[in-house]
């Protein structure tokens, strides 16, 4: 006769639900502390700089393709720009001429913030020609050139309040003869051509 051999009870392996929740919470806390810090104001500023330079490129391309001057109007008090197709080239907004409004997102304004001037340009918008109610304008001609060279500074609302946010400054420069548009960021104590 054979005698049954007692077997050891199987051991349970794995984790309880509570242990998994605690581990996931710890991983989340560590990732939040050690992970990269996202500066939302800088992200919005970079987005606005890209939008501004793209709008200027679009104005130049429209002037070249349509054979009409295009006015790019800056309205700093309203924190926006107007792209105006001047079909009759009279430097005025006609009722049948198309316009497109480009507005900055939340937290972005015209200004240099705490950054030093780029190439000696101290005005937030250096274009001297005006349009309508006195707003600065750069005009793109049918050959791609512009009415004048100039610089536009944009910054975050935080940087406008003090110099501790100097790296929250962007500058867009436009050359007169070619209409070339260049974007600069203030980083590590100097202006760098990159936005």
Q: Token pair of 97, please?
A: 């001429």
Residue of 176, 177, 182 whose CA lies nearest to 195: 182
Domain locations along the chain? 40-192
Assign a CATH topology to domain 40-192.
minor pseudopilin epsh fold (3.55.40)
Q: Is 54 left (phi over 0), alpha (psi -120 to 50) or beta?
A: alpha
- The pLDDT, as a whole number, for residue 102 is 93
Side-chain-facing half-sphere of 141: CA atoms under 13 Å: 11
CA distance 48 to 106: 10
Residue 37: per-residue pLDDT = 67
Please report where in the chains the tokens 């992200």 appear, as a residue. 43
pLDDT for position 165: 82
- Rounded-to-integer distance, Cα 5 and Cα 112, Å: 86
- Report pLDDT for 19: 86
Asked whether 63 and 182 are in contact (CB, 8 A), the reply is: no
Residue with tokens 């295009």: 70
Return the structure tokens found at 35. 């992970």
Query: What count of residues does the chain have?
Result: 195
d(CA 21, CA 16): 9
Contact 126, 110 (CB under 8 A): no
Enumerate residue ranges in the chain where pLDDT < 70: 1-2, 5-12, 35-37, 163
Gyration radius (Cα) of the chain, Å: 28
Print burial letters for 58-83: b (CB count within 10 Å at least 16), e (below 16): bbbebbbeeebbbbbbbbbeebebbb
The sign of the torsion formed by the CA atoms of 105, 108, 111, 117 equals: negative
pLDDT of residue 79: 93
Query: Global pTM?
Result: 0.79
Predicted confidence at residue 25, as pLDDT, reads 92
């Amino acid at each position: 006769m054979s005698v049954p051999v007692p077997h050891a009870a199987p051991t349970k392996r794995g984790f309880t639900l509570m242990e998994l929740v605690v581990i996931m919470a710890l991983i989340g806390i560590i990732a939040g502390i050690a992970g990269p810090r996202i500066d939302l104001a800088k992200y919005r500023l970079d987005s606005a700089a890209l939008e501004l330079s793209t709008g200027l490129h679009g104005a130049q391309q429209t002037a070249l393709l349509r054979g009409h001057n295009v006015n790019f109007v800056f309205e700093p008090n309203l924190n926006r720009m107007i792209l105006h197709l001047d079909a009759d080239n009279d430097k005025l907004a006609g009722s049948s001429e198309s316009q497109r409004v480009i507005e900055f997102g939340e937290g972005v304004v015209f200004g240099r913030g705490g950054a030093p001037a780029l190439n000696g340009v101290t005005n937030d918008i250096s274009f001297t020609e005006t349009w309508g109610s006195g707003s600065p304008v750069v005009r793109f001609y049918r050959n791609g050139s512009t009415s004048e060279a100039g610089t536009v500074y944009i910054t975050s609302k935080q940087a406008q309040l003090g110099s501790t946010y100097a790296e929250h400054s962007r500058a867009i420069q436009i050359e007169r003869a070619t209409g070339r548009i260049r974007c600069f960021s203030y980083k590590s104590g100097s202006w760098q051509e990159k936005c």
